[in-house]
A and B are shown apart, each in its own frame.
Chain A
Amino acid sequence: MLSRTKDVNRVYWLIVLPALIMLVAIYFVPLGNVLLTSVREPKPGFANYELLFTSASVQKTLMTTVRIAAITTAFALLLGYAVAYAMRAATSQRQRLMLFCVLLPFWISVLVRSFAWLTILGPQGPINAALQGLGLTDEPIQLARNETGVLIAMVHVMLPYAILTLYANMRGIDAGLVAAARSLGASRFQAFRMVFLPLTRPGLIGAGTLVFILSLGFYVTPAILGGGRVLMVAQYTAIQINETSRWGLGTMLAASLMIAVVGALWALSRVIDVKRLFGA
């Protein structure tokens, strides 16, 4: 009986294998190659990594990346919290409609959404047309091809992640606790601040980390709405490869990005179940 169980287990390992082989050969090998290249080209050693501290243009890119990711995270948490809270309080029919509004943009590709923002915010777009129509401005206001445009579109892309993570957390909170605080004489704001808000801390940490690390690696949105003026690290990396063929610098930036993201996820996994953030 025991040997039969072993045989069966072997069969089940066998069916795991195709996916595992694919993942190792076409995913992990290339990632390993990026790490190796970053310490091998143009010559062996950590010279590429020194650029993180010495090169002005690399540092400027890193600052831009962290600044945009941080501002995006702040807005996504603030707006997302309000939506998740309203969803938690809504009737189940309303909830479904709200969830649909959250998932709809989630499904439309980032490229299409970034392009949509470019048309909305552009000089001939509806916002500038409305402003000029109302006589509020004579000249079109520059809303795209700068950091404002990048931030608007990035918050738009990141909000669903924040809302879904916060909502998952809030769903697990017993609303009776808030009602109890109210019946004990707390005002609505006090009950929220002293009972509900502390209970959503894990959700805030999870959503904040997730949005921040996903924002760090953004390429398409800043490239389209930044108009070449707002360089985040992913686009800067692509330029090193495609335009100047500086593989050492490019792979070093990519490797640093990967280490930062995976490291942050690993740290987060010690606090909350990270797999749930990705829908598991």
Chain B
Amino acid sequence: MSKLQPSGIVAAFAWLVLSFLALPAFAVIPVSFTDTRYLALPQEHWSLQHWQAFLTSDAWVASIWQSLWIAVVSTVIAVGAGTLCAIGCWRLSSGLSEKVRSLMILPMAVPTIVYALGIYRLYVELDLVGTALGVILAHAVTGLPFVVLTVSGSLSNLDPRLEQAARGLGASVRQTLRYVIVPNIVPGVLSGAIFAFIHSWDELIVVIFIGGRALFTLPRRMWDGINDNLDPVIAVVATAMILFTLLVLTAELSLRARRAS
């Protein structure tokens, strides 16, 4: 029996707030099947016309692929650099390496608009505006905190003597990483990869600034659609993005369950 007993009113209120949290996003699902030309629930019947418009539109389909490969490449970079950094900081565990780890988290705290202005100016000088390379680098560096945090979390459960034992038995640093440390933190690395992927897949503000005329990721095209003409195709895109997120979330939760067991 739990020792805290909230009154029935508090518990009911809590569940009300929880449904306020969980439900609204799903409102876009019925709207995506509307038979009207504006954003509304289906009036006469459910219709697939906007789904068809979405899937047969070259522009939207191109955006999906663009978002996908930019997210994949920036995730690979963030996971590679972030995992090595977390391992290095864990093994060094000095005052200086702790500072490095704190710095790595800063991109999560600084408002994105500030970074967007700065990276735009830098890319104008480097001629990287409107290039995939530019967006990939920006997404990779802002994805680093997610990887450093999750991998550090995994490492904190790892006995540092394991590393010392491997080294004492004559393993090189490379062998220690390859055969001792990395196999023990795989769930943390995968979690970090999922977070970094979602970060890039959803990222809008930076891409608005540095996307130029060539790069229209899914969030950016959706943003333009919301600002130009609010047609129900956007509800279709939103539905697709929610379903995709749920898929990835399920993967993350099962990883977490595996880590716990």
Q: Please, what's the 1-or-0 string for B96-111, where 1 marks a CB less than 8 Å from any CB in chain A?
A: 0100101111111111
Which one of A30, A100, A278 has the highest number of Cβ atoms from chain B below 10 Å of its Cβ? A30
Q: How far is the CB of A88 from chain B (nearest CB, A)?
A: 6
Cβ-defined partner of B173 (8 Å) among A8, A34, A254, A262: A8
Contacting residues, chain A, for B235 (C-beta < 8 A): 115, 119
Stretch at the interface among A43-51, A52-60, A79-87: A79-87
Cβ-defined partner of B117 (8 Å) among A122, A159, A224, A251: A251
The total of chain A residues at the interface (CB under 8 A) is 90
How far does the alpha carbon of A236 sit from the alpha carbon of B246 in the complex, in Å? 33
In the assembled complex, A279 has its CB within 8 A of some CB on chain B: yes
**Chain A contacts with B in 166-225, Cβ cutoff 8 A:** 175-176, 178-179, 188, 196, 213, 216-217, 219-220, 224
Cβ-defined partner of B141 (8 Å) among A8, A23, A37, A262: A23
Nearest-CB residue, chain B, relative to A8: B173
| Given A19-B84, A278-B109: A82 and B41 interface contact (C-beta under 8 Å) | no
How far does the alpha carbon of A279 sit from the alpha carbon of B138 in the complex, in Å? 22
Instruction: Give the secondary structure class of B's interface.
Output: helix
Contacting residues, chain A, for B208 (C-beta < 8 A): 238
| Given A22-B141, A34-B114: A83 and B238 interface contact (C-beta under 8 Å) | no
Assess whether A125 is in contact with B39, with CB atoms less than 8 Å apart.
yes
Which one of B7, B85, B114 has the highest number of Cβ atoms from chain A below 10 Å of its Cβ? B114
In the assembled complex, B132 has its CB within 8 A of some CB on chain A: no
Contacting residues, chain B, for A101 (C-beta < 8 A): 18-19, 21-22
How far does the alpha carbon of A61 sit from the alpha carbon of B177 in the complex, in Å? 51
Cβ-defined partner of A262 (8 Å) among B10, B110, B241: B110
Which one of B3, B109, B116, B238 has the highest number of Cβ atoms from chain A below 10 Å of its Cβ? B109
Assess whether B119 is in contact with A16, with CB atoms less than 8 Å apart.
no
How far does the alpha carbon of A166 sit from the alpha carbon of B37 in the complex, in Å? 43
Assess whether B100 is in contact with A104, with CB atoms less than 8 Å apart.
no
In the assembled complex, A116 has its CB within 8 A of some CB on chain B: yes
Q: How far is the CB of B187 from chain A (nearest CB, A)?
A: 15
Assess whether A12 is in contact with B245, with CB atoms less than 8 Å apart.
no
Contacting residues, chain A, for B238 (C-beta < 8 A): 112, 115-116
Assess whether A11 is in contact with B110, with CB atoms less than 8 Å apart.
no
Q: How far is the CB of A61 from chain B (nearest CB, A)?
A: 13
How far does the alpha carbon of A151 sit from the alpha carbon of B52 in the complex, in Å? 34
Nearest-CB residue, chain B, relative to A176: B3
Q: How far is the CB of A223 from chain B (nearest CB, A)?
A: 8
| Given A19-B104, A89-B4, A89-B5: A257 and B84 interface contact (C-beta under 8 Å) | no
Assess whether B21 is in contact with A111, with CB atoms less than 8 Å apart.
no
Assess whether A102 is in contact with B223, with CB atoms less than 8 Å apart.
no
Q: How far is the CB of A230 from chain B (nearest CB, A)?
A: 15
**Chain B contacts with A in 40-60, Cβ cutoff 8 A:** 40-41
Nearest-CB residue, chain A, relative to B7: A188
Assess whether A15 is in contact with B28, with CB atoms less than 8 Å apart.
no
Q: How far is the CB of A174 from chain B (nearest CB, A)?
A: 9
Assess whether A82 is in contact with B88, with CB atoms less than 8 Å apart.
no
Assess whether A254 is in contact with B222, with CB atoms less than 8 Å apart.
no
| Given A15-B84, A16-B85, A33-B121: A27 and B142 interface contact (C-beta under 8 Å) | yes
| Given A85-B6, A156-B20: A20 and B85 interface contact (C-beta under 8 Å) | yes
Which one of B25, B142, B153, B201 has the highest number of Cβ atoms from chain A below 10 Å of its Cβ? B25
| Given A12-B173, A118-B226, A262-B109: A34 and B118 interface contact (C-beta under 8 Å) | yes
Assess whether A31 is in contact with B222, with CB atoms less than 8 Å apart.
no
How far does the alpha carbon of A16 sit from the alpha carbon of B103 in the complex, in Å? 12
Assess whether A15 is in contact with B88, with CB atoms less than 8 Å apart.
yes
Assess whether A89 is in contact with B226, with CB atoms less than 8 Å apart.
no
Assess whether B92 is in contact with A30, with CB atoms less than 8 Å apart.
no
Nearest-CB residue, chain B, relative to A105: B21
Cβ-defined partner of B25 (8 Å) among A82, A116, A159, A176: A116
In the assembled complex, A261 has its CB within 8 A of some CB on chain B: yes
Q: How far is the CB of B229 from chain A (nearest CB, A)?
A: 13
In the assembled complex, B160 has its CB within 8 A of some CB on chain A: no
Assess whether A83 is in contact with B17, with CB atoms less than 8 Å apart.
yes
How far does the alpha carbon of A101 sit from the alpha carbon of B23 in the complex, in Å? 9
Cβ-defined partner of B204 (8 Å) among A22, A86, A220, A255: A220
Interface residues of A (CB under 8 A from B): 8-9, 11-16, 18-20, 22-23, 26-27, 29-34, 37, 79-80, 82-83, 85-91, 98, 100-105, 107-113, 115-120, 122, 124-126, 129, 156, 159-160, 175-176, 178-179, 188, 196, 213, 216-217, 219-220, 224, 234, 237-238, 241, 250-251, 254-255, 257-258, 261-262, 265, 275, 278-280
10 more contacts with CB within 8 A, not counting A111-B204, A115-B28, A156-B21, are A14-B88, A15-B177, A19-B104, A26-B141, A80-B17, A107-B249, A116-B26, A156-B20, A178-B3, A241-B209
The contact sample of 11 A-B pairs, CB cut-off 8 A, is: A30-B117, A33-B121, A83-B18, A103-B249, A105-B24, A112-B241, A113-B25, A122-B39, A219-B111, A278-B108, A280-B153
